[in-house]
Every structure is written in C-alpha cells, then in structure tokens.
Structure 1
Amino acid sequence: MSKRHNNRSRKRPHNKPNQQVKKQSRQPGASNQSRGKKSTTVEVTCQGLTNEGKGIIHWDGKQLEVEQLLPGEKAEVAIYKKGRYFNAEVKRLIHSSEDRARPPKKFDDECGGCQIQHMTYEAQTRFKQKVVDDLMKPYGKPEPIITMDHPYDYRNKNVMTFGLNKKRQIISGRYAPNSHRIIPMKGSIIHDPKADEIIQTVTDLAKSFKLQPYNEDIGQGFLRHVMVKVGKKSGEIMVVIVVASPIFKGKKNFVKALRKEHPDISTILLNINQRSDSMVLGDQEKVLFGKGTITDTLCELDFEISAKSFYQINPVQTEKLYNEAIQMAGLTGKEKVVDAYCGIGTIGLVASKQAGKVIGIELNKGAVRDAIRNSKRNNIQNARFYQADAGEYMTQLAAKGEKVDVVFLDPPRSGSDEAFLSSLVKLKPSRVVYISCNPETQVRDLKYLTKKGYDVKRMQPVDMFPQTSHIENVALLELK
C-alpha cells in the first residue's frame, strides 16, 4: 500500500493495462477492442489462473490468458492476433464453475478495474492466498489472509474523467486501457455509493450548465475530472471539480445546485489543472464551499484530509493491517521507530502510541506538512516528520551511529530500490516490518534483505482490495 503523497492515478484497481472487464459478468462476451478483427472460435477448458486472476487455456501449442474465465469452466473463446501475440476472449460460457459469482449490482460490468468480481468472495480468498503462498514459499508459510466482512462499497476516493460520447453528449467514466476513449460509468461495486451519486449529479449539472469537457488530444475544453472523498467514519464529503481554466462562469449557481441535491457535502473545491501529463490534480486550488478539507478517524486518531492528501482507500481493512503490522513490531513503549515512505504519517502516528520515538521520512513536502498537522491535531509529542529521501536519511543516521529498533517500510508497487535497501542494512534495525501492495516485488526485496543478515519470521496477507487481483502482504524480518 504505497503512501506516496501525490495525485497521480495510484495503484488502485482501475485502468490497469489489459485488465478491462467485458460486458456481462455472468456471461462474458466480446469486448469493443476485438470487434471487427478476424478471429478463430474454439472450445476450451480453463486450466488455472494467473497471478492477475486471468484464466489459463491452451490452444495450438500456446498458453493464452483469458479474462473472466475460471478453472474448470468450458467456453467458446475467440482468438485473434494482435501484433506478435494472440489474445483470447470469452464469447459464450458452456459450463460455469460453482465459484462464479452473481453480480450484486446492475452496473457491476461497467467497472474496468474489478478484475475478479466474477469470482465468489470465497473463491477470491482462496485465489489470493495461493498467490501469496506460492510467492513466499522460500520464506515459510504465510498466515491465512485477513478478509473483509462486507467486500463492497469500500473505496473512500473516486475519480472520474469527463468526455463526449458519439452523440456529443457529456459523459463521465474511466479511460479504456491504452487509449483516450472513456468508458461511461454510473458506479462500481467497490465505490462508496454516495460518491457515485454525487459524481452522476455533477455530470448531469455539467450538461445543464453546458460545460465543455477537456480534450487531451487537442488541449481544448474546460471540465477535466471530478474527485469525491468520503470520510467513512466521520461522514464528511469532499468534492473536487478539476478544470483546465480558472474562469468558471456560473460557478456560484453550480455549487448552489450541487448542494441542493446533496446537502451533506462538507466542502467543494475547484482545482485548476493546466498540465499536459496524466496527473489528475493541478497546483492551483480554490475553495468554493466549506473549509477545503475533511476529517476521518483511523485507529482512534483523527486525520485531516486535503484534496492532495493520500489517505488509505479502504480504512476498514487498513485498521486491520496496521494492527497486524504494529503487533509484529513488538513495541513496548521504549523503541525508536522509523516510518519510511511515511506519506501523511498514518502508520507512524498510530505506532507512536506504543513506541518511544517515531521518525517519519517522506520526500513530498505537502505530505510532511499534513503529517505534522495531524500529529499536532492528535496531541502526539513523540513523533517527528522530515522531508528527505528515506534512504539518504537512514544512511546519515547510520553514519552518526544512531540506533533504530524498528523500521516500517511501505513502498510503492515497484517495491524498494537497492539504494534504499542498502541504507536499511547499514542502519541495522532489530526488526523490519515490510508492508507491500505487490508481493511480487516484495519477494524480490526479501531476497536481498535475507542475504544481508535478516530472517523472515512471519507473513500476513490482508485483502485490502476485494473484487480486484491486488493483494497486501506484511512481512516481519529480524536481524540475525
């Protein structure tokens, strides 16, 4: 679970290349990307699953991957050539698995990021457990995965992009993989339902106010994105309208109309993004209503959340994850703790209740400001946060001969680089608690650390993102 403090599209379960879900979850069919292409239709039986949850089939001496196909299922599959490779898509299910789920909502098949929503939650749990078990086999057997009681509606942040459909009507949705084509979305089984309602209202208001969506290809237009953040415990709601120009004619009436439909909105912001890259938020920001931030409670601490703050997407599972990580750290109230990649300081501040001293390190200046503010907000006296490269900072600590007992490590999906890991080894903390949102890069980093004097003592997977193929895993390492 990366704590990088930025506003790019994160490791979250949407818009991942080659992960678009086809129409009809119960009866998959050909997607838009295959229409009009010459294909061969064959009858196949699914032999297994990839680590991304795709079905594995064999055809003409080749092993192919098929989305939304489960082991043991028999199906008619369309196979077509794309460049040097072959792609396969389900046209018709002949025999369904008992593990195939019945979608709980009418718009389930519109979500481009719910790669395994066609599995029952029990099947998802078995699948993720096997992925972690197989990857971590060199270091022992992971604990049973921690599941979610209600594996739906959990995302507390939703972002949609605006565009035009073929009828030149404004729509909101997500980009299709590897394109600028927007897939219209009314919601998702993993989104907060209230956030989806607000996004639809914003889309409808954009039509009535005749706001033109921004066209990235030609660099013209006004309305780019809408982002909604929801405090799951506080109930506070933030709406961010992202535009290409600071001149918003009729903005007062727009805000009035939006608040009339949703009086429970806590704050509304206008974000001006004149960039030409894929960043969602720009640098300029205006508060149109409210105080400009919302608050939420995590592990009995209050956190102030701004538009650019990274705050864990699934707070229910985050509390379980943090409790496991802090238990692994074996804190007694005396330890000196480093929270690397600390973001807005969530895990460091939670750990401070059981630690002697916490040092949070983060490269992003805005994240450090948020961490300091949240520390003061919760009257935490034993945590300090510094803007620095975590690896360089730890190298300096080691050069000074300072002793650190525990390092919490929560890198992005790409894992840690060797420069950071070597600085960790120089510092020689007694225990390292490695929180990973990508077990494949985590196992690579564990290989480095175990060669440098650490033993893996325990591994605990957590299902942070139900309905997606993403897995969180916490590993405890101890210095030999």
Structure 2
Amino acid sequence: MLSIKKNDIREGKVIDLTHEGHGVVKVDRYPIFVPYALIDEEIQYKVIKVKKNFAIGKLLEVTTSSKQRVEPPCIYYSKCGGCQLQHMNYEAQLSMKKSQVINLFNRKGNFKETPIKDVIGMEDPWYYRNKSQLPVGRNKQDHIKLGFFRQRSHDIIDMEECLIQDSIQNKVMVAVKKWLDQLNVSVYNEQRKRGLLRHLIIRTGHYTNEMMIIFVINGYKFKQQDELISKLTNAFPQITSIKLNINQSHSNVIMGKESITLYGKQQINDLLSNVEFKISDQSFYQINTVQTEKLYRKAIEYAGLTGNETVLDTYCGIGTIGLYMAPKAKHVYGVEVVPEAIEDAKINATRNQYENTTFVCGKAEEIILKWKKEGIKPDVVMVDPPRKGCDEKFIETLLELAPEKIIYISCNPATQQRDAERLSSQYNLNEITPVDMFPHTTHVETVAQFIRQ
C-alpha cells in the first residue's frame, strides 16, 4: 500500500537527478521528483502530485546544501520557464548532461563500450542566444508585458532582461515594450482570439551585429507600424531588416508562412568560421553561434575529411554544416524538404564561391536514392534531424546507401539512441561528444561517429 499522499510534508536525501534536472528522493523505492533539489542535499518537500509510479514534490527547504548549489543570478528564474539549471554551478550542469548521455547509451542502450567524451562547454555561458521569440500581452493595468511564458503555462512573465539572450536584444525588448504602450498598439488576446500583435522576434548576427526585427501579427498591418519602425531604426542603427509576419491561425505555432519586409533587407548576414550565411526570418539557424562552431569542428574531425571525400548533408537547412565542410571536401550534396531553405543554401554557396556544392529540395530518402542511381556514392553522410529523429524509411535508405561514415548530430539524444540501435546492424557507434548548446537549460546536443562494419 502506497504511503505517499498529496500534501504530505516530508524530509529526505536527494540521491539522483532526472534528465530534467529534478532531484530524486525515494520512499520505499518509490521516487519523488523535486525540482531545484540537488544530489546529496537533505531537503524538506511537499508532495503536490501522486501517480502510480512516481510523485512530484515542491521544494520547501534545503537543510543540508550541496557544494554545487549557487544563487541563480536571474530574478525571474523561479517563475520563468526558459532556464531550469541556474541553481546549479556550470561544472555540475556539464556533468549532469554527460551523465544523461551515458545513461542513454552506455547503461540502457547496447553501446556499453562506446566512449562518451566530456561535454564541450562555454567559457562564458551567458547572453548567447542569437534569436528571441517574445510573446506580447497586457497586464491587469492594461500595460504591455513582454517576456517569456511561466513554466507550463501561457502566462507571460514581464521582464526587463534575460541573461541568456543577446544583451542588445534585451535593450530592444525594453524599448519596444515602452513604445507599444505609448502608441497603444493592439495586442492579440489568446482567450478571445482578437487583437493584432502576437510576438516580437529578434534575430542578431553574432559576428556581423546585423539585426532583424519581426512583428508577428493577426492581420496584415497595424496603424502604428511606420512610427514604430522610425523609433527602432533611430535608436538601434544595427537594425538592417524589419518584417511583418502574418499568423492568423488560432494555434500555438509562433509564425505564419507569409512575411512582408517593412524596412531594409530581406535577410541578415552572419559568419561561422569565415563562412558567410544569409539568414531569413524563417531560416533554421543554430541559436548559439559560439558553440555551433565547436559542434561543427567536432563533426569535421569525426568525418576525417582530406579533400577527396564526397559528403552528403541530409536535413541540410540553409546549408550551414555542408558549406562549413565544403573547403575540406571534394563535393558536398545537400537535401532538405523546405524550398525556402534550399534557396538560401544555394545563395549562401554562391556568396562564399563554393562551386563544389549541390543543393536539392525534396525528401532525403527519395533524393539520395536518385543520386545513387546516377552513380553518386557518398563517403560521409551528415545527419542532423529535428527532435523526433530520423524516420524508419530514411534509416533503411541510409543502410542501403552504405557510406563509410555517418556523422549524426542530434538535439535529442533519446531519439539518437533509438536510431543508433537501427543502424547497429551495419555500423559501429565509435564515439559520442556532447556539446552544451543551451547553458542553464536541460538540453544537450550530441555529435556521434558511426563507422561501417
């Protein structure tokens, strides 16, 4: 008979962390997950949810504190859902993320011999996000609020600064909030499904300092837009593009498919190790530029390029990793299902004068078999799928293609581990290196090297 009941106040010692960074306390082998608690801490907690196999607790007091505990520098940390690990020192965060990957591959998976390298961290793990997506709302006094959603809700935490987004984006956020109030701009109301402005999106080029502002609205214009553009461009001369994105759907999707350029260029530029990229409003571009360069360098190291290899870049997006590899490869072929991304990839290849590249729009599993019939045989295949990982048809096609090496970058090690099992009939998982792309959050990116048996 389970002795744990909702609203129980209990004491215990934290023995482990979940992949979400929650402390684990056990009562007769029954686990209670307590957010903000750390390993080896003696804590007092309140049981707030009881399930068949686990319970959720709320931390009331830390009676014996861990050496890994630090005071979160962000004043919004306990409310905002953007970060989950600011109460943990950075070294401990990296250790936790490595343990997460070890648990998936060495302990639970069939890869007990695969070396898991130390996590590649940041020297200065703050103000790193080159893109901010900020929901807009109004408070009870009918003033504009701008920030991030409270954990597991759509209640906006009004904020003046986010410690993980680019510092210039914080200044833009504060200024726009003031001007939206002054100009009395119509704001979208999620419950009533009425009003105009839904999100403010800011993108910055880490090395170029170019900035794009995107207003996501429930319509095609708002009457104060010209005045707002004037204020923005006078205050922030680094703004090179201002766009209006039309999203009239009543869903949680942030951006609609149609955008209008209100000011300046259609794209902004940025660099990755001297490779120049054009980034449009809907382009996928890694959030953390500094860590992206480290991630791609590790991928090139795993690929072992000598200049004689044919590289296939699946899920290629705007061509970032393929173009990063182009100077060290014989030829790079890229495939992607999003037409706009392929157009950007072709433009980026031309801008960088890389003539040894071919980018095609379509499903990877269809295009690469077509290329195979044409006699194109890749030595290295780059795989960088979305969080859901690769679908089975793609894995089957990859096994049929049988390249010597597969370099698999993942933003979700759990689906990467599943795909590694599928590849294991023909490939040895040689090594994995985790990279901390999102400090102070629970996310970890991994790059894995597969060698054909």
1:198 is aligned to 172
Equivalent residue for 1:362?
Answer: 336
The code of the aligned residue for 1:306 comes to S
Question: Counterpart amino acid of 1:120?
Answer: N
Query: 1-side partners of 2:282 and 2:299: how far apart?
Result: 26
Could you tell me how far 1:143 is from its partner in structure 2?
1.8
Q: 1:454 aligns with which of 427, 443, 448?
A: 427
Choose which of 259, 263, 268 in structure 2 pairs with 1:294: 268
Any idea what SS the aligned residue of 2:57 has?
strand
How many percent identity over aligned positions?
A: 38
State yes or no: 1:429 paired with 2:397.
Answer: no
Distance 1:83 1:211, change over 3 A: farther
Label 1:402 to 1:294 Cα distance change in 2 as closer, same or farther (>3 A). Answer: closer
- Partner-residue secondary structure (3-state), 1:266: strand
2:228 is the alignment partner of 1:254:
yes
Q: Report what 1:474 is aligned to.
A: 447
- 1:161-310 to 2 correspondence within 5 Å? 161-310=135-284
Cα distance, 1:61–1:426 mapped onto 2, change above 3 Å: closer
Q: Which amino acid aligns with 1:298?
A: L
Instruction: Measure, in 2, the Cα distance between the counterparts of 1:61 and 1:394.
Output: 50
Give the alignment partner of residue 120 of structure 1, picking from 64, 70, 89: 89
Contact 1:397 1:427 in 2 (8 A): no
Give the counterpart letter for 2:45 in structure 1.
V
Q: Which amino acid aligns with 1:465?
A: F
Mapped to 2, the partners of 1:131 and 1:402 lie a distance apart of 38
Could you list the runs of 5+ residues in structure 1 that have no partner in the other structure?
A: 1-36
Q: How many residues align?
A: 443
Contact persistence 2:212–2:239 (CA under 8 A)? yes
Q: Which moved more, 1:303-312 or 1:166-175?
A: 166-175
Is 1:41 aligned to 2:15, yes or no?
Answer: no
Q: Which deviates the most, 103-112 or 214-223? A: 103-112
Residue 348 (1) aligns with residue 322 (2): yes
Query: Contact 1:107–1:187 (CA<8 Å) still a contact in 2?
Result: no
SS at match of 1:88: strand
Shift of 1:150: 0.6
State whether residues 75 and 94 of structure 1, in contact with CA within 8 Å, keep that contact through their aligned partners in structure 2: yes
Give 2:49's aligned residue. Answer: 81
SS at match of 1:136: helix
Looking at structure 1, the residues matched to 152 and 99 of structure 2 have their Cα atoms a distance apart, in angstroms, of 30
Q: 2:353 aligns with which of 342, 363, 379?
A: 379
Provide the C-alpha distance between the structure 2 equivalents of 1:273 and 1:313, rounded to a whole number of angstroms: 23
Q: Distance in 2 between matches of 1:176 and 1:72?
A: 28
SS at match of 2:443: coil
Rounded to whole Å, the distance in 1 between the matches of 2:366 and 2:198 is 38
Shift in Å at residue 312 of structure 1? 0.8
Cα displacement string for residues 107-164 of structure 1 (whole angstroms, at most 9, x for unaligned residues): 4445412111111011111111222223222241212221110111110000110112
* Letter of the structure 2 residue corresponding to residue 39 of structure 1: N
Q: CA separation in 2, counterparts of 1:243 and 1:404?
A: 44
Question: Partner letter of residue 469 of structure 1?
Answer: T
- CA distance in structure 1 between the aligned counterparts of 2:349 and 2:122, rounded to whole angstroms: 29
- Structure 1 distance, partners of 2:231, 2:258, is 24
Q: What is the identity, as a one-letter code, of the residue corresponding to 1:297?
A: L
In structure 1, the partner of 2:103 is 134
Please give the secondary structure, in 2, of the residue aligned with 1:347.
Answer: helix
Indicate the larger mover: 48-57 or 134-143: 134-143
Q: 37, 42, 46: which is aligned to 1:69?
A: 37
TM-aligned CA distance change 1:87 to 1:471, over 3 Å: same
For 1:281 and 1:439, locate their aligned partners in 2 and report how far apart those are by CA, in whole Å.
27
Report what 2:130 is aligned to: 156
Q: So what's the TM-score if we normalise by structure 1?
A: 0.88
Relative contact order higher in (CA < 8 Å, ≥ 6 apart)? 1
CA distance in 1, matches of 2:80, 2:342: 34
Stretch deviating more after TM superposition (272-281 or 99-108): 99-108
Contact 1:148 1:317 in 2 (8 A): yes
Shift of 1:445: 0.9
Aligned residue type for 2:284: F
Q: Shift of the alpha carbon at 1:427?
A: 0.4
CA contact (8 A) 1:304 1:370 kept: yes
Q: Which moved more, 1:370-379 or 1:252-261?
A: 252-261
Alpha-carbon distance between aligned partners in 1 of 2:79 and 2:123, rounded to the nearest angstrom: 24
**Aligned with 1:187: secondary structure?**
coil
1:173-232 superposed Cα distances (whole Å, 9 cap, x missing partner): 233344432232333221111112211211111111111210123220011000001111
The 8 Å contact of residues 55 and 65 in structure 1, kept in 2 or not, is answered as: yes
Q: Which letter maps to 1:291?
A: K
Aligned-pair Cα RMSD in Å: 1.9
Q: In structure 2, do the counterparts of structure 1 residues 81 and 121 end up closer, same or farther at CA, with 3 Å as the change threshold?
A: closer
Per mean C-alpha deviation after superposition, the further-off stretch among 463-472 and 251-260 is 251-260
Residue 18 of structure 1 is matched in structure 2 by: none
- For 1:106 and 1:359, the matched residues in 2 are separated by 47
Q: Which amino acid aligns with 2:135?
A: T
Contact in 2 for aligned 1:415/1:441 (Cα 8 Å): yes
Q: What is the deviation of 1:439?
A: 1.3
Does the residue aligned with 1:201 lie in a helix, a strand or coil? helix
Name the amino acid aligned to 2:435. Answer: V
Q: 1:340, 1:390 within 8 Å by CA — same for their partners in 2? A: yes
* Change over 3 Å in CA distance of 1:38–1:209 after alignment to 2: farther
Distance 1:357 1:261 in 2: 45
Aligned residues of 2:80 and 2:149 also touching (Cα < 8 A): no
Amino acid at match of 1:379: Q
1:6 maps to which residue?
A: none
Q: 1:59: how far off?
A: 3.6
Question: Distance in 2 between the 1:60 and 1:135 partners?
Answer: 25
CA distance in 1, matches of 2:146, 2:89: 29
Cα distance in 2 for residues equivalent to 1:108 and 1:350: 36
